Structure 1
Amino acid sequence: MKALDTAKETDTMTTRVPSARRRTSALMLLAAAALLALTGCKSGDVVSYDLPAKSARYTFETENDGVSTVWQYTSAEATKDDAPEQNPCAGEMTGSSQAACRPEPLIFLRYDFGLALDNTAKAGAEHEITVTGYYQERLSELPEVTSLKTETTFDGGRTWRPATTKETGKNTFTTTVANPRRDKAPEGVGLRISATDSQGNTVKQTIPTAYTLR
């Protein structure tokens, strides 16, 4: 008599445990979403995109509260991850892509306008402004800002004139603006900053009114 086979094939349910990097990414995504909500931004403001394998020159333009920024940089398809663990790429945070990725070499500008408590500068006097270039963090060595030029306007952008600028530290430059009399700049002082780095990437940022005079 043949024994009855009571063995049954059972499907094994496997729960995938996310890696530490993925768990960190998920937490950062939640934090980023909360920050975007607090600042009034939408999830569509987080941008990622694919590039062709061949290196090419790209232009990226933005405008925010009247401040316009134009970047020109050289880039190509990422062949290996170049994003630090604490700042992963958008595709990895959302789980939509595991392709190699990296931050683009965009030069960002940070300003110390050296203004009074009422955000004004003294009219008819020289005024120093410190400008520092920086980048998104990446694993590979970052380029350095090698030159920076400043132009000023006292008539709302109709005319521009150069201002004296000197390098005062790594990626840091000091601009000296000869502020006119207050009646010569009723709309305040506008700035146009142009910077170039060691890889030939550039940024041009125009601030229609950086500060007003007292």
Structure 2
Amino acid sequence: MALGTDKETTTMKCIRVPSPRRRRSALVLLAAAATLLLSGCKGGDLVSYELPEKSAPYTFETETNGVKTVWRYSSAKATKDDTSTLSPCIGELVGSDQAACRPEPLIFLRYDFGLALDNTVRAGEAHEVTVVGYYQERLSDLPEVTSLKAETTFDGGSTWRPAPSKATGENTFTTTIRNPRRDQAPAGVGLRIRATDSQGNTVTQTIPVAYTLR
């Protein structure tokens, strides 16, 4: 099993293992996980582990600069390598472990906020945000992101309200946010996205300030 980093949104920095049962004998990490070291994680934060043979549900959480991401997914012990030649297992690179490895089926999110040159959005108007779901590169067929729900907050997360969203392409969705007056969201507009794929895996990402208003 291996975990990588979301280079597009930089929401994944250090790994926090949610359950002691996941801390079994070490397997291997993908080479992509080495980027976590470059982002400031300590060596102890990089964890590799062997999963039981029977598939089970897991939860994985990260938080960086206030952006919180929670993945819920099902996984089991890898029986064969499922990685690309561009992202080999670390064990293959250093010769320390030849066990089978693969990325976990984590849904990552990439955003196009449609910002102006000053990184703001016009207040009092409807505004579209495009969200694309994607996965770490692997050889087998990937799941498909089948649904996306969006919520917005104008008061720093005290209250959330649904925002309509629709599929506009493969793993691609557009959500429409009705921006309030600038004085009604002085700190900016927050966004919470929950995406689900064809295998039942989910990701919930909360961005306290997605953009500010002008």
TM superposition score category, shorter chain reference: 0.7 to 0.9
Pairs within 5 Å for 1:116-135: 116-135=116-135
- Deviation per CA, 1:135-190: give whole Å up to 9, x if none: 00111000000000000000000000000101000000001100000010011000
Q: Is the 8 A contact 1:47 1:90 kept in 2?
A: no
> What TM-score do you get using the length of structure 2 for normalisation?
0.81
CA distance in 1, matches of 2:85, 2:48: 17
What do you get for the CA RMSD once the two structures are aligned? 1.9
Amino acid at match of 2:51: L
Pairs within 5 Å for 1:148-163: 148-163=148-163
How far apart are 1:88 and its partner, in Å? 1.1
Distance 1:136 1:37, change over 3 A: closer
CA distance in 2, matches of 1:32, 1:196: 24
- Deviation per CA, 1:75-111: give whole Å up to 9, x if none: 0000011011110123323322110111000000000
> What TM-score do you get using the length of structure 1 for normalisation?
0.81
Q: Is the 8 A contact 1:151 1:162 kept in 2?
A: yes
Match of residue 24 from structure 2: none
Match of residue 58 from structure 1: 58
Unaligned runs of 5+ in 2: 1-29
SS state of the match for residue 183, structure 1? Answer: helix
Pairs within 5 Å for 1:17-56: 39-56=39-56
Larger radius of gyration: 1
How far apart are 1:36 and its partner, in Å? 5.7
Match of residue 167 from structure 1: 167
CA distance in 2, matches of 1:137, 1:44: 25
How far apart are 1:41 and its partner, in Å? 4.2
Amino acid at match of 2:122: K
Distance 1:57 1:190, change over 3 A: same
Distance 1:97 1:77, change over 3 A: same
Match of residue 138 from structure 2: 138
Distance 1:103 1:32, change over 3 A: closer
Distance 1:37 1:200, change over 3 A: closer
Match of residue 69 from structure 2: 69
How far apart are 1:44 and its partner, in Å? 4.6
CA distance in 2, matches of 1:93, 1:58: 28
Amino acid at match of 1:57: P
CA distance in 1, matches of 2:194, 2:123: 25
2:93 matches 1:93: yes
Distance 1:201 1:133, change over 3 A: same
Deviates most, 64-73 or 47-56: 47-56
CA distance in 1, matches of 2:112, 2:133: 12
User: 4+ residue stretches of structure 1 with deviation over 6 A?
Assistant: none
Unaligned runs of 5+ in 1: 1-27
Q: Is the 8 A contact 1:48 1:90 kept in 2?
A: no
Match of residue 147 from structure 1: 147
Match of residue 210 from structure 1: 210
Q: Is the 8 A contact 1:149 1:195 kept in 2?
A: yes
Match of residue 188 from structure 1: 188
